[in-house]
Structure 1
Amino acid sequence: MKTKILYSFVTACLCMTAVMASPSHNDRKDYLVHSEDTMDMPANGQVIGKVYDGDTGEPLIGATVRIEGMGSNFGTVTDNTGSYRLQGVPEGPQVLIFSFIGFDTVTKEVVVEPNKSVTVNIRLESGMEGMDEVTIVAFRKGQSRSINVQKEALNLKSVVSFEQIERFPDLNIAESIKRVPGVVTEPSRGEAESVMIRGLPSGMHTVTLNGQRMSATGEDRETDTRIIPTGMISSMEVIKSATAEMDADATSGSINLITTRPVGDDVFVRGQIATGYNAMSGRPQWLSSLTYSKRVGKLDFVLSGNYQKDNRATEDIRHDWDVRDFGNGNQDVLAGLRPSLYETERIRASVGTQLDYSFNERSSLYLRAVYNRFDEYELRNDARHGLDNGNYTAPGVSERARFEKVMREYNRITNLLNLNFGGQHDIGRSTLDYNLGYSRGTFNVPLREYYAFRHSERPNYSYDISNREFGSYEVTNNVDLNDPSKMDFRYYERRRDDILDTDMFATINLKTPYNLGTGKGFFKVGAKAWRKTKDRDMVEQRWTSYSGSEPLTFNNFFVPNNSALVGGRYPISGNMDWVAGKNFFNQNEANFGLDEDRTRASSDPNNFNAVEDIYAAYAMTDLKFGNLNLNLGLRAEQVDNYYRGNEVEFDRDGNYVRTVPVEVDDIGYFNLFPMMNARYELSKMTNIRFSYTETIVRPDFAALVPFRLINQDNEIITTGNPDLAPSNAQNIDVSFETYFKSVGFVSIGGFHKSFRNFIFNEVTVIQDPNSVYDGFMQVTPQNGESASITGVEIAWQQKLDFLPGFLKNFGVYTNYTYAVSKANVSEPEMRTVTLPLQPKHIFNAALQYDKGGFSAQLSYNWRETWLQEVGATTSLPSLEQNQEIYMDRFFQGFGQLDFSASQKITSQWNAFINLNNLTNSSHAHYFGNPIYPYRNSIHGWWGMAGLRFNL
């Protein structure tokens, strides 16, 4: 029934637009004015054409075109191909005015005849070419293009040009996007990984490439943007208020990456080559990229390639805490200390192409293909001091404790392929565009091996926690922790994981202009059919015994390493020879005892298949009355889901019995999403915006799949919930923005998001004396009552050329975000917390300097502490507050200081240098209160130097 309603909605919208449409044909001639008959035009005529950068021939997106003396209603902006179309232009002589921030305004006289089309193609010349500061001309031209798109957009968005991205020392999209207001990233091994917009999890925003959806690259709905090099794009948009033509799950926003488009007449060659150094690893970095564009007749094409190799290292120190009563009340004790060394190699490789064939200014076809590969190889070396495995005989003393070595070799490969074919054509007064798309994301773990060894003797420890960030220890008996022959085999573990996510979709849109009294606007309808499939095949095996003729110890694979972490505080007691270790296992597998029960419990529930079909249709209008621009729309989506997962059964003794496949295929829901965006022009350079939108948050696939996963090591059972409902969001945005002719702007805005059926993890404790899982925690995703987030965003970007003397060479790029949130959770009792991964304060600041051919920038990115993970228990008396605290885990606030500079060598070549993390900022977590530090990851600084060229 709901599908029939959606079908009727699509049919009605298309019929309404079809009535307005009639055929028209135009021929293309660049930079000329010409007319031709158009049989079905209204009594007045129309003016069409393109607007180009007069220097490069690149189409200008967002350029304003209007008729002199006819009011602000009679105007338009160029689309993403640089094209414009003015319909219903009165006959006779008219003066066209073309304007673009940072470019000289151009006027053009034309004669419009009834029922005829006039083509006017215009080249705009930069208003900055006479400046002595040759370096900033290209930078400010790039920014002017992005700022024009931002200023003229129907909805609220932040747009960043490639030139601005290049000024920061960021080499991938996740790193670069953290500079945008309201955006924060979660780091991994010193580099941004997950992206959060306005404090919401990464699965709550969409990622598109040239407006088309990109697949997820893991077990949930997140697209991993860190795999995409910045050299593969020409600009990026962070869209913060949706329109009806967008997918409705863009709740926190949408990241739209725009690849380099054909630039017109000239051959375009841009690239860079560089090398660098990482202070922590002591190893080099490499970077190269190349983009080539050319026009051949009516065919424009772009080819791009990028390669990065990054060698990193991280020193990671973990503390575990507990309490003991030594006769004077509970006191904090150090339960465990785990120094770890991570050595990481990351390789990014990307290639892309775009073909555009233009029949004329208003009719074209395109083919786009982009492939990204991210290959990460990592060695982890743990030294684990288990003080709580012994007896605490006095404060600072643990006797007969445990010492273990756990080492890991890990390789994960992420691939992301996007293919899109589409076109745009005029059909009478209407414009038709369509797209067929295919996106494929894979996450593959071909290698994840663990070797664990435990010392045969039990050390006595004396420890000192006066410095809680870096607790110290001393072995007080004769146990030699560095003797590999005393380290007995504990287990060998092997994991494999394959996740495949595919998206196939087709979209069609029809746009028709109309008049309403003195107002002018367009009516747009469209439909989308989209199928997403996700499959996971994962196995985790652990062998916990060895029955060979000779004892197996760490000595079999030991590689001496006398280094110690954090300035010599923590010895890591040797490295692992992984080639010898894996060969030994492969040759002697029959002598290793496999824990079949654990394998089944850890593997089978993680394997699933999911199919999600979405059928969408929308109708929207954009109407301009004087200085008021209204964008109103309604989107309808029907979702049908199929899931297959596994439940694993065990007997009362914990022995594996069987795996039961579970299928759910009757999950479906229908939603209507009203959208409103309003923009009021106080002047040509100042806007006030307001938007109200409704969106949806679909549960992660791993949460919906019916499964039961048992982690016996941590005594946690995780289950899926096929009955989990999506969360609905109401979003309000209000903002003020003013732009400068010198290419810059100031903006301030507020936002509020409220959620119904907010999804959280409910934690309960199993209380069944007859069950082997008595006392285990069970984690199940559930729909909560509500959650909300409210915030303010402030941004200022400007060249300070109004200042006297040398101060005019400076510029600023700065933004600040303040946000507060709340959500109800039930662990260990019903209470209100902030949303996880949502900091209250985010701050970006960059001081820029440009003089002649020299450019430099000092940038700082800072975010406040956020809630990383909600705890399930209360424990540990806070010594400062003398009361129990919740064992929530927090990621402590941190800032990073970076520097970049470039020097122009010739008109086509310049040298550059990037330096990151100059203050050696680390990433620290704590439990409940900073006096209980959990882990501290130290990454050092790194940098790169090289050459850029633009031929």
Structure 2
Amino acid sequence: MTAIAGVIFCSSLKAEVNPTISEISSEMDFSNEVSGRVSELGTGERLVGATVVVKDLNIGTSTDLHGSYRLRNLPEGRHTLVVSYLGYETREIELEVKDGEVINMNTDLEQRFLTMGEVLVTSVMRGQSRAFNQQKEAENVRNIVSSQQIERFPDNNITEAVKRIPGISTEPLRGEAAAIMIRGLPASFHTVTINNQRVASTDETNRATNTAIINTDMVSAIEVSKTITPDMDADALSGSINLVTRRPVGDNKVFNVTAGSGYNNMSGRPQWIGSATYGQRDGNLDWVVSANYQKDNRATEDIRHDWGVQDFGNGNQDVLAGLRPSFYETERQRMGMTGQVEYHFSPRSSIYFMGNFNNYDEYEVRNDARHGISNGTYETPDLVTGARYEKVIREYNRITDLYSLNAGGKHDIGIATVDYNIGYSYGSFDIPLREYYAFRHSDRPDYRVDISDREFGMIEFANDFNPNDYEKMNFRYYERRNDDVKDNDLFATFNMEVPYELGRSSHFKFGGKFWTKTKERNMSEWRWTGYNGPENLTMAMFAEDKDRNMIDNRYSLGGSIDWERGKQFFNDNINDFVLDEDRFRENSDPNNYKANERIFAAYALTDNTFGNVHVNAGVRMEQVSNTYDGFRVIFDDGGDYLATEAIKADDQNYVNFFPMLNVKYQINPLTNFRFAYTNSIARPDFEYLVPYELVNSDSETVSQGNPDLEPSTSMNLDLMFEHFLSNVGILSAGVFYKNMGNFIYNESTVITEGNNAGYRLNRPENGESAYLYGIELAWQQQLTFLPGVLSGLGVYANYSHIYSEAKIIVPEERRIRLPKQAPNIFNVALSYDRGGFSGQISYSYRDTWLHSVGGSSSAPSVSEHNVYLDRFLMYSGQLDLTLNQQITPNLRVFANFNNLTNQSHQHYFNDPIYPYRNSFHSWWSNFGIRYSL
């Protein structure tokens, strides 16, 4: 955290001298220096990223996170100091520099958009002006979004909010965005930091941090870096997401409260939201605390299709092989707390402590009706006799925790500035409850089948079959899964910055970081497939008659069970159930692991400004050592379990160097042209590196991890043009290219020697290169130049096009687009602000992407289109609406509406004529009040 430099309180353009600070300054051996702070007139809020330039010398800098600036080694004489900030009136200050003198000059800037007289417009524009100023002054390609801009969209978690940024797509899960892809690359390819401090991963198998667990009310801004600098972690192959939490501003107290409720149309249940922030400055002490709570009651209607072929005398013909309607009732709860305190020993020396905690608790019940059409006999394409009907009901609870503690400081030691930090971060993924009850009907249904509309295959019973005769729904299996994943990270960083004379503004910076990670997974999956009790176990013992007509009354779901009675019966009679131990070992032991990684990093960079050209160049070194422990599971020729053996992989050690160059050419004070050449890395996911082995003689397969995998590396090129509009807006266009080496894919080969000769080996390997390139376009502007009532209109729009290609060889060599990489993404929003009212309608679109790569297809009908059973997620777009009304200068009410068109999420195999899964979520809303002091 940056210390406050040169703090002097003033309300005019004249410099005032504070005796205490003057004494402190005189004790330091500075000469010909001007320093101070830039604030907002009236509120005292610090302005981050303000430009401070000595007009006649073209020497300048920008303010830091506390609004502080510092100019050294100025020549004697009279000079004009120009202070500018996007959306504020520019100030010019005359001053005289004398040899050996330190001038403390604080400046207040007046908002330009105050003259519009629209209170709500001022709030939004004030927030985004700060974000744009930081983006404009940044040394790298970066997108910054303020909390005020986030509130213009009805997004309740960080992942939902980030999808509005150019070049970013998200993967949906039960109606919400669940994972972030920056420029079409997996979530584990980018880093997540809170206040620039790294946080732990929260996934069970990969390195990703799930930002969907974090409420948007926790942050004051979101920063997405598309290119990195040498003082950033290099494992940000696609980029880095930094969440800036609430912090004290100015000399006033900070007090914000949000409270509201809502409604989900599909679940018919309410939503709840609430947050509060309080902070202030007490002498040399700044502090702030914030808490938030959110509870969503959601529901999903889902239909799945299975496809096959039959020959009725005229060649192969597509038939419906299975149909599975499902209903999900989901309760999601998010809670978060964050706080920070900073103590200032002097204007140039401070220490801080900050911490944050986030908890995500999801509880879900799923009710499946499974129509096993292919288990019968196809009499004709539309009549099947003697099929199968089952019910599978699931109860599920997932808890994710993410918290971190950090302490550090920043000090001016004369010729140099040092900062340091020590921290701890903990992430966990815990499934304490995941249980299934499965039942199969003793009667065999006959089905009439209609696939004239393939998206919604239809069936009806052709005999007297009663799916809700629960006495005939016989026990099939009871399944229980537990998963406990913990990630503990400890790290320490040190940085030193030394100014020197070269160009307009120059400094040399170097530092290091030590980081150790311990990640451990304990996963178990039990299935009991028989019951030897005194009575016949049927669904009737626990049944609840909750039949639901789904998806516009197309499908009938049938009843569910009372989970409390069902679980109690199982727990009381567990000795009468028969455990499938072979399945337990196969599905449990290979998934357990322990990983230890230690990373030491060092870097050196130089940051220089020559006229209108700013250069940030340097190199980073990262040395990695790790150990992994896994298990080897062996089955005999009959598929029976033999043994589980512990495996410890050899220690791995490697070193990488990452040269980096970020160049910014300032065409004029509001226009930049950027070029970046960077190198980055993506270390293999834990599931790939764990030295597990699963030998199944029954299927003649061997599945392995590969601790010898090398990390994927990437050479990245970026070009960006950005023009910032004086009424707080932006026009930007950029192109990027990534060339990735050692790309990881799953290889399948035949073992030619040893005890398992002839078996198929499935193992992750390093492949050849993969590459992607694309364009990003953005336009954001308040159209205040329009006449009359039209001046309240505003536009937010961005478009991204991405192309990628990688080589795989499973089951044979071919080139594919990278999985989960959307070729086209766009966001568009039209807003209106006037008279205290603000409204915005927005639309977010994601193109079809390859969801997962399949092997050879066993279905000839699918093979006619492609021999590979690849799975795709179809394009989708979501229409949202937000409404706000200012009641008083401090109080406003809001209403948000999501997914107004009931956009579904649809998967298909190879071609849309083979739909696999379609999920519907309907619309939901929330409404409430926001109070800001």
Q: TM-score range by the shorter chain?
A: over 0.9
Letter in 2 for 1:30: F
Identify the residue that residue 610 of structure 1 maps to in structure 2. 595
Assess, with a 3 A threshold, how the Cα gap between structure 1 residues 710 and 482 changes in structure 2: closer, same or farther. Answer: farther
Assess, with a 3 A threshold, how the Cα gap between structure 1 residues 421 and 126 changes in structure 2: closer, same or farther. Answer: same
* In 2, Cα distance between equivalents of 1:767 and 1:389: 37
Assess, with a 3 A threshold, how the Cα gap between structure 1 residues 100 and 398 changes in structure 2: closer, same or farther. Answer: same
Identify the residue that residue 586 of structure 2 maps to in structure 1. 601
Residue pair 2:257, 2:276 contacting (<8 A) in 1 also: yes
Identify the residue that residue 46 of structure 1 maps to in structure 2. 33
Identify the residue that residue 394 of structure 1 maps to in structure 2. 380
User: 2:684 is paired with a residue of what secondary structure?
Assistant: coil
Deviates more, 1:32-41 or 1:717-726: 32-41
* In 2, Cα distance between equivalents of 1:687 and 1:713: 63
Assess, with a 3 A threshold, how the Cα gap between structure 1 residues 308 and 765 changes in structure 2: closer, same or farther. Answer: farther
* In 1, Cα distance between equivalents of 2:130 and 2:152: 16
* In 1, Cα distance between equivalents of 2:697 and 2:290: 48
Shift of 1:766: 8.4
Task: Verify: 1:30 aligned to 2:9, yes or no.
Answer: yes
Map 1:519-538 onto structure 2 (within 5 A). 519-538=504-523
* In 1, Cα distance between equivalents of 2:220 and 2:4: 32
User: 1:144 is paired with a residue of what secondary structure?
Assistant: helix
Identify the residue that residue 936 of structure 1 maps to in structure 2. 918
Identify the residue that residue 852 of structure 1 maps to in structure 2. 835
Map 1:445-844 onto structure 2 (within 5 A). 445-516=431-502, 518-709=503-694, 718-764=703-749, 779-844=762-827
User: 2:336 is paired with a residue of what secondary structure?
Assistant: strand
* In 2, Cα distance between equivalents of 1:487 and 1:770: 45
Identify the residue that residue 113 of structure 1 maps to in structure 2. 98
Deviations 1:137-195 (A, max 9, x none): 01101010000000010000000001000110001100000000000100100000000
Letter in 2 for 1:307: Y
Deviations 1:600-646 (A, max 9, x none): 11111111100010000000011111111111010000000010001
Shift of 1:801: 1.2
Residue 327 (structure 1) aligned to one of 313, 338, 350: 313
User: 2:43 is paired with a residue of what secondary structure?
Assistant: coil
Task: Verify: 1:209 aligned to 2:198, yes or no.
Answer: no
Shift of 1:530: 0.3
Deviations 1:464-516 (A, max 9, x none): 11111110112222322111111110100111111001111000100111112
Identify the residue that residue 919 of structure 1 maps to in structure 2. 901
Shift of 1:711: 9.7
Give the share of equivalent positions with the same residue, in percent: 53
Assess, with a 3 A threshold, how the Cα gap between structure 1 residues 717 and 386 changes in structure 2: closer, same or farther. Answer: farther
* In 2, Cα distance between equivalents of 1:767 and 1:564: 54
Shift of 1:95: 2.6
Residue 97 (structure 1) aligned to one of 67, 70, 82: 82
Letter in 1 for 2:123: A
Deviations 1:885-914 (A, max 9, x none): 421000000000000010001111011000
Shift of 1:28: 4.7
Identify the residue that residue 331 of structure 2 maps to in structure 1. 345
Residue 161 (structure 1) aligned to one of 123, 146, 150: 146
* In 2, Cα distance between equivalents of 1:457 and 1:446: 36
User: 1:502 is paired with a residue of what secondary structure?
Assistant: strand
Identify the residue that residue 844 of structure 2 maps to in structure 1. 861
* In 1, Cα distance between equivalents of 2:749 and 2:378: 31
Identify the residue that residue 297 of structure 1 maps to in structure 2. 283
Shift of 1:661: 0.5
* In 1, Cα distance between equivalents of 2:257 and 2:469: 52
Deviates more, 1:438-447 or 1:650-659: 650-659
Deviations 1:521-571 (A, max 9, x none): 111001000001101111111101000111001111100013221122211
* In 2, Cα distance between equivalents of 1:499 and 1:429: 47
Letter in 2 for 1:223: T
Residue pair 2:8, 2:36 contacting (<8 A) in 1 also: no
Aligned length: 921
User: 1:548 is paired with a residue of what secondary structure?
Assistant: coil
* In 1, Cα distance between equivalents of 2:270 and 2:751: 51
Deviations 1:191-219 (A, max 9, x none): 00000000000000000001110110012
* In 2, Cα distance between equivalents of 1:81 and 1:657: 64
Shift of 1:108: 2.6
Deviations 1:745-803 (A, max 9, x none): 100000000111101122457899998x999x754211111101110000000011122
| Root-mean-square deviation over aligned CA pairs | 2.1
Task: Verify: 1:70 aligned to 2:49, yes or no.
Answer: no
Residue pair 2:308, 2:861 contacting (<8 A) in 1 also: no
Deviates more, 1:162-171 or 1:476-485: 476-485
Deviations 1:104-153 (A, max 9, x none): 11223333232332222222221122222221001101010000000010
* In 2, Cα distance between equivalents of 1:893 and 1:710: 39
Residue 894 (structure 1) aligned to one of 876, 888, 892: 876
Residue pair 2:89, 2:111 contacting (<8 A) in 1 also: yes
Identify the residue that residue 46 of structure 2 maps to in structure 1. 59
Residue pair 2:744, 2:767 contacting (<8 A) in 1 also: yes
User: 1:176 is paired with a residue of what secondary structure?
Assistant: helix
Residue 904 (structure 1) aligned to one of 874, 886, 893: 886
Deviations 1:269-288 (A, max 9, x none): 11211110000000000000
User: 2:72 is paired with a residue of what secondary structure?
Assistant: strand
* In 1, Cα distance between equivalents of 2:580 and 2:495: 56
Task: Verify: 1:136 aligned to 2:115, yes or no.
Answer: no
Identify the residue that residue 364 of structure 1 maps to in structure 2. 350
Assess, with a 3 A threshold, how the Cα gap between structure 1 residues 136 and 715 changes in structure 2: closer, same or farther. Answer: farther
Deviates more, 1:48-57 or 1:881-890: 881-890
* In 2, Cα distance between equivalents of 1:692 and 1:548: 69
Residue pair 2:636, 2:697 contacting (<8 A) in 1 also: no
* In 2, Cα distance between equivalents of 1:26 and 1:758: 46
* In 1, Cα distance between equivalents of 2:837 and 2:750: 63
Letter in 2 for 1:864: D
Assess, with a 3 A threshold, how the Cα gap between structure 1 residues 650 and 714 changes in structure 2: closer, same or farther. Answer: closer
5+ residue gaps in structure 1?
Answer: 1-23
* In 2, Cα distance between equivalents of 1:769 and 1:62: 65
Deviations 1:380-435 (A, max 9, x none): 11101111222223212222211111111000100001111111111112111111
Task: Verify: 1:252 aligned to 2:227, yes or no.
Answer: no
Identify the residue that residue 175 of structure 2 maps to in structure 1. 190
* In 2, Cα distance between equivalents of 1:602 and 1:439: 30
Residue pair 1:745, 1:797 contacting (<8 A) in 2 also: yes
* In 1, Cα distance between equivalents of 2:639 and 2:699: 15
Residue pair 2:6, 2:68 contacting (<8 A) in 1 also: no
Shift of 1:828: 2.2
Q: Structure 2 length as normaliser, TM-score?
A: 0.96
* In 2, Cα distance between equivalents of 1:614 and 1:285: 43
Map 1:872-883 onto structure 2 (within 5 A). 872-877=855-860, 883=865
Assess, with a 3 A threshold, how the Cα gap between structure 1 residues 884 and 589 changes in structure 2: closer, same or farther. Answer: same
User: 1:129 is paired with a residue of what secondary structure?
Assistant: helix
